[in-house]
Amino acid sequence: MSHHIVQADNLHYTYPDGTIGLDNINFKIHHGESVALVGSNGAGKSTLLLHLIGCLIPTKGDIRIGDYPLNKKNLKAVRRSTGMVFQDPDDQLFMPTVFDDVAFGLINLGVPESEIENQVIKALEIVGVPHLAKRSPHKLSGGEKRAVAIATVIATMPDILIMDEPSSNLDPASRRRLINLLKTFTHTKIIATHDLDMALEICERTIVLNKGDIIADGNTKELFHNEKLLAMSGLEKPLTMQGLR
């Protein structure tokens, strides 16, 4: 197995209408690391994630995922090793049933038919919802949808998990289940979120974005103690830390 490094060098991105999306982003994420990507609305979190899965092409700079530089030629290989969980599960669950949805990626990978069912059930078991296999996505609750969306991604066994706001729109119990689930994953994780409590629990490292620029990158706990930094980037100290001085 190769070292699944996610690396951005001097990354710039300007939207077609001229707004600056990313401005000189540099970071290096190592195998097995969990990194939270935080920042105010419009700070560039989603833009950065879209670069990591090759949906946006940087105007300047490079991205390396694993052993490959991210370009058109390597796109398929890169997407095989990354899995993205989108913010709105409705965008991600597009097939008629949960089973078909989880199987979608496996079929595209060329997994033999006889193994697909096993792997689908396995993926659903990992996220704790094997009983939903035959249901249609539109009948699931928000938490169930999120769990299935994660299952669709982990079914293909990516090395790097990229998540956009995984805890949004979840009730507290579902959120708790999600956090516990994510804790068990050994994948390299990059999680864009506003939920700093979750970031605190899952991610040892945090990158703070502001106006398309990285303004801080370091240990999560240390960063979250820096109230000036948090205020500057439109954030607030996590609730679990507010009692502590």
Partner 1 sequence: MGNLQNNLFDIFYMDTLAYSKTWIHSLDPRAKVLTTLLFVGIVVSFGKYEISILIPFMLYPVVMITWANLPIIYLIKKMVLLMPFAFFIGIFNPLIDRDIILKINLTFISLIDIARFIDLTKFIEIMGLQNSTGVIEISGGWLSFFSIMIRFSLTVSAALILICTTGFDSICLALQKFRVPGPFIVQLMFLYRYMFVLIDEASRMVRARSLRTFDVDSKMRFSLFVPMIGQLLLRTLDRAQRIHLAMCCRGFDGHIQMIRKMKFGVSEVLFILGWSSVFIIFRLYNIPFNLGIFISKLY
Binding site residues, partner 1, CB under 8 A: 50, 53, 55, 76, 79-80, 82-84, 86, 88, 90-97, 100, 103-105, 107-109, 113, 116-117, 135-139, 152-153, 156
**Residues 85, 64: Cα–Cα separation, whole Å:** 20
Nearer Cβ to partner 1 (157/229): 157
Nearer Cβ to partner 1 (134/245): 134
* Rounded least distance, CB 166 to partner 1, Å: 14
* Rounded least distance, CB 94 to partner 1, Å: 5
* Rounded least distance, CB 72 to partner 1, Å: 13
* Rounded least distance, CB 196 to partner 1, Å: 25
Per the CB < 8 A criterion, the answer to whether 137 and 148 are in contact is yes
* Rounded least distance, CB 93 to partner 1, Å: 8
Nearer Cβ to partner 1 (103/181): 103
Nearer Cβ to partner 1 (37/216): 37
Nearer Cβ to partner 1 (191/208): 191
**Residues 42, 111: Cα–Cα separation, whole Å:** 39
